[in-house]
């Protein structure tokens, strides 16, 4: 769980929960039992609690404004573009002509922002279960205000599974921008084989592409959930592309997995060509060579993915370190 602390610089500062103390010097997040990550704060801008999650907006010295949910940093002002460009642009660029997209989660609006940069897009559905998170982000994350006012975006407050199952519409791309699977969190059931097979896949058009954020993917952390999510998706789809990037504010390599029943092979040159043709403005992080590098995993991670046997199910779930509000 994330905490703030007053410290004299010698590591023995008194700690307070985010909801209990507003004037602080440091934010600290427990990554593992014996590993914590902390950085200096200018201030705590807001804290709140919804039906599902604890929410905080911090003004940090190294990363600018940072959104924290259930004690886990979700995104930070200075480097969120890495995460969101990696999540959004690979599936849209590999699709020949994406018109409509369904976002599972994505309440902060950054995923919608990146999707709406594509000139092929006619309609984006953003479905987030937590209205308080969406309203919170609309109020405080001004960088995404244009996206929230784009007429192509429709925001729906509902459980993503229930919403997809109630719809007859099919989509060119479905994006999983869900919170990490943590024990007691609201999202872990949306990483299961049954959900991918019976809810996500039937809602994709022919040639459609699914992409999901897949948690930490570092040399040591990739076995928490990344390898399992990869193996689960390859039980459901024919073509699977795992890829990773370093996110400084996460203090780790992060992973995504793209899945489809149609081939997803494009050259560096074709990716760059499609970016120039389709995307408004220039990406800060992702281009053809960067994606080629991102999808070339290290030997140890490739070996783990090749040998992974765990299939993500509700009764056999894996979690990253931490606990949700309902744990």
Model confidence over 239-252: pLDDT tens digits? 999 999 999 999 99
Going along 143-273, which residue ranges are E strands? 153-157, 171-177, 204-216, 239-247, 252-260
In whole angstroms, give the CA distance from residue 160 to residue 151: 21
Residue 59: CB atoms within 10 A of its CB come to: 15
In whole angstroms, give the CA distance from residue 109 to residue 159: 17
Which is nearest to 186 in space by CA: 2, 32, 327?
Answer: 327
Mean pLDDT of 100-127: 98
Q: Which two tokens stand for residue 141?
A: 């994350």
- CA atoms within a 13 Å half-sphere pointing along the CA-CB vector of 31: 15
Is the predicted pLDDT of residue 79 greater than 70, yes or no?
yes
The helix/strand/coil state of 219 is: coil
**Residue 268 C-alpha from the chain's centroid:** 24
Active-site positions read: 177
Q: What is the pLDDT of residues 126-181, one digit of tens each?
A: 999 999 999 989 998 889 999 999 999 999 999 999 999 999 999 999 999 998 98
């Amino acid at each position: 769980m994330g905490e703030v602390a007053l410290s004299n610089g010698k590591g023995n500062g008194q700690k307070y929960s985010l909801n209990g103390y507003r004037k602080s010097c440091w934010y600290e997040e427990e990554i593992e039992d014996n590993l914590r990550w902390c950085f200096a704060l200018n201030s705590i801008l807001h804290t709140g609690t919804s039906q599902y999650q604890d929410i905080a907006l911090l003004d940090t010295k190294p990363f600018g404004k940072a959104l924290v949910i259930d004690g886990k940093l979700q995104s930070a002002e200075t480097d969120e573009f890495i995460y969101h460009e990696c999540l959004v642009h690979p599936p849209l660029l590999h699709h020949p002509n994406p018109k409509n997209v369904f976002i599972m989660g994505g309440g902060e609006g950054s995923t919608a922002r990146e999707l709406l940069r594509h000139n092929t897009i006619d309609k984006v559905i953003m479905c987030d279960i937590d209205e308080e998170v969406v309203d919170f982000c609309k109020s405080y994350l001004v960088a995404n205000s244009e996206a929230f006012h784009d007429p192509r975006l429709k925001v729906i407050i509902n459980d993503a599974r229930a919403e997809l199952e109630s719809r007859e519409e099919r989509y060119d791309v479905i994006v999983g921008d869900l919170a990490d699977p943590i024990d007691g969190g609201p999202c872990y059931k949306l990483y299961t084989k049954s959900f991918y097979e019976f809810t996500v896949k039937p809602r994709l058009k022919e040639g459609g592409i699914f992409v999901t954020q897949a948690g930490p993917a570092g040399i040591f952390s990739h076995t928490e959930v990344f390898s399992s999510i990869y193996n689960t998706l390859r039980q459901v789809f024919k073509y699977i592309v795992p890829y990773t990037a370093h996110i400084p504010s996460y203090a780790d390599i992060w992973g995504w997995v793209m899945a489809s029943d149609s081939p997803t092979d494009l050259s560096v040159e074709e990716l760059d060509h499609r970016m120039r043709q389709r995307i408004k403005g220039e990406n800060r992080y992702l281009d053809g060579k960067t994606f080629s590098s991102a999808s070339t995993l290290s030997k140890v991670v490739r070996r783990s993915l090749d040998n992974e046997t765990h299939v993500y199910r509700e009764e056999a779930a894996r979690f990253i370190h931490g606990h949700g509000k309902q744990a």
